[in-house]
Amino acid sequence: MRILIVEDDRWRLEWFKQNLKNHCLYITKDVDDACKALHNRYDILFLDHDLADEHYISLAAGKEVKEGTGYEVAKYIKENNINIKTIVHSWNSVGAANILYVLPDSIYTPFATENFKEIVDKLNKNAGVA
């Protein structure tokens, strides 16, 4: 399975690599890179909200500044009609709620919870991983 992971935390990234090692993973913490990668037809997207060097939307001299969060990736998916199964794994419940508002068919399950682990186990089982 082809999986796109948008995450910046090193520990989480190692966990993904270890637990999804029999899948084709593309990992990025950069919003622009993630948006470009979405056009490469991934089966699943694991999306975090809080990313490295994030900042929230602000208006500077009347111009909107990019926020650098998973919410921006979600908006890109919606605006470009990209069909991808999305799992929002952020512990930031407000940020996750904003993503779910834009992508209501997404699954929200914070990283490393039992439900999150069950999803990963199902992915591995479907890929023939024992």
Q: pLDDT tens across 52-87, in order? A: 665 555 455 555 556 789 999 999 999 999 999 999
Domain ranges in the chain?
A: 2-126
Tokens encoding 42? 């991934």
Tokens encoding 7? 């995450």
pTM of the full predicted structure?
Answer: 0.88
Asked whether residue 130 carries a pLDDT value surpassing 80, the answer given is no
- Greatest mean pLDDT range, 26-30, 60-64, 121-125: 26-30
**CA dihedral in degrees (122, 124, 127, 130; nearest 10)?**
-110
- pLDDT mean across residues, the chain: 89
**Is CATH 3.40.190.10 the classification given to domain 2-126?**
no
Which residue in this structure is represented by tokens 């950069």? 30
- Confidence (pLDDT) at 64: 56
Q: Please give the residue that has the higher pLDDT: either 127 or 3.
A: 3
Mean pLDDT to the nearest integer, 113-128: 88
First-last CA distance in the chain:
15
Pairwise CA distance, residues 128 & 130, whole Å: 6
- Confidence (pLDDT) at 56: 53
pLDDT above 90 covers a percentage of the chain that reads 80
Mean pLDDT to the nearest integer, 26-37: 96
Residue 31 confidence class, pLDDT cut points 50, 70, 90? very high
